[in-house]
Amino acid sequence: MTFVSNDPSFWPQINFNLVASYFIVASSVAIVYDWVLNFGQEVELLWRQRWSFVTFLYLGLRYIGLSFAVSNLTTVSMTDAVSRNTYIAQWWLLFVADIILGAIVIIRLHAMYQRSRKMLIFLVVTFLAVTTTCSVMSGIGSRPFTGEEFVLSGTYTCIIAEDQPQLIRWTRVVGTAWEALALCLAVWIAIKHFREHKRLGVSTGSTIRDCFAMLIKSQVLYFIGFVAVSCFDFGYFSQELWDSDSTGAQIYYGVILFIYPVQMFVLGPHLILSIREYHAELVDNSEAGTVFTTICFQERIPVSTISGSGV
């Protein structure tokens, strides 16, 4: 059912939707721009290389992000039914993207921990528990979705109602705990590695240090993005901010709409691209006759051949 009104009391809602649309478009443009900017690298480092499970994870995450961006750019003047279906589709895209990101993080940590079976089991069980908890909370808080079309002073919008929006935001708390655990495990194994080699009097080599530095750097950047999104979500727990139509509240909500997809679909794919680029540089150096060592995460001693980390 369509609700039509020219009541001036709806103007704050119109402005709110307008500001939000600017940030949505900005996030979609950022995702598409990053894809275009790195497409050549994607072709060289993934499409033309031997395909692996990680290749499918990268392509799935990257092109889910593009689908999400395109759907955001096309949600204009939709009926309530179409808008509701689009909202549900985007929810599932984000759900699948979260699982892919979790799998990427698990593969990286599994490789860093010398492919330890115990660590793999711990990571998988923990991630499954986190995913199940977040799914249940999201399901309780957002189903059934209800959408209603509004025509306010000549502008079209469809407002999707959620039963318990605050409960959905608590999923970010659980997700942040998982990301913090992943970061701590990555930092811990790096510190332990260097201490162990120092204690044994084994030279780690600049390549190994650079490799761990690259892994930690990419993990930290991704974690910072996740924490930024979570902090803004935590701030929205405030009912006063949730109900406010002020310019500050509009911008605050718009920032969430911008950084959430950017964190997932820009920083996420670079978790893989950074490793592939690093390995490509090692290959170039070896072909140029440069003497180097690299890390073979399964081994405790550096070897003088190129070895993938599984990523």
pLDDT tens track for 232-276: 877 766 767 766 777 788 888 888 889 989 999 999 999 999 888
Quick check: is 283 in a domain?
yes
CA–CA separation, 84 and 134 (whole Å): 21
Quick check: is 301 in a domain?
no
* Mean pLDDT, all residues of the chain: 76
3-state secondary structure of 217: helix
Listed ranges 156-170, 241-255, 283-297; the one with the highest mean pLDDT: 241-255
What's residue 180's pLDDT? 87
What's residue 293's pLDDT? 38
134: CATH: 1.20.1070
The phi, psi pair for 299, rounded to 5°, reads -100, 160
Query: Is residue 287 predicted with pLDDT exceeding 60?
Result: no
Beta pairing, strands 2-5 & 146-152 = parallel
Q: What integer is the mean pLDDT of 291-308?
A: 38
What's residue 128's pLDDT? 94
Opening angle at CA 209, ends 208 and 215, nearest 5: 90
Quick check: is 152 in a domain?
yes
Q: Percent of the chain, pLDDT > 90?
A: 24
- Which residue segment(s) compose the domain that 278 sits in? 2-287
Quick check: is 294 in a domain?
no
Q: How confident is the model at residue 35 (pLDDT cuts 50, 70, 90)?
A: very high
Quick check: is 100 in a domain?
yes
Query: Is residue 156 predicted with pLDDT exceeding 70?
Result: no
Quick check: is 292 in a domain?
no
Quick check: is 214 in a domain?
yes
Listed ranges 54-68, 72-86, 150-164; the one with the highest mean pLDDT: 54-68
Higher-confidence residue of 186 and 17: namely 186
The phi, psi pair for 150, rounded to 5°, reads -125, 140
Q: Which strand (E) or helix (H) includes residue 112?
A: helix 80-112
Q: How many domains does the chain have?
A: 1
Quick check: is 276 in a domain?
yes
The per-residue DSSP string of 172-230 comes to HHHHHHHHHHHHHHHHHHHHHHHHHHHHHT---HHHHHHHHHHHHHHHHHHHHHHHHHH
Q: Among candidates 173, 104, 166, which has minimal Cα distance to 133? A: 173
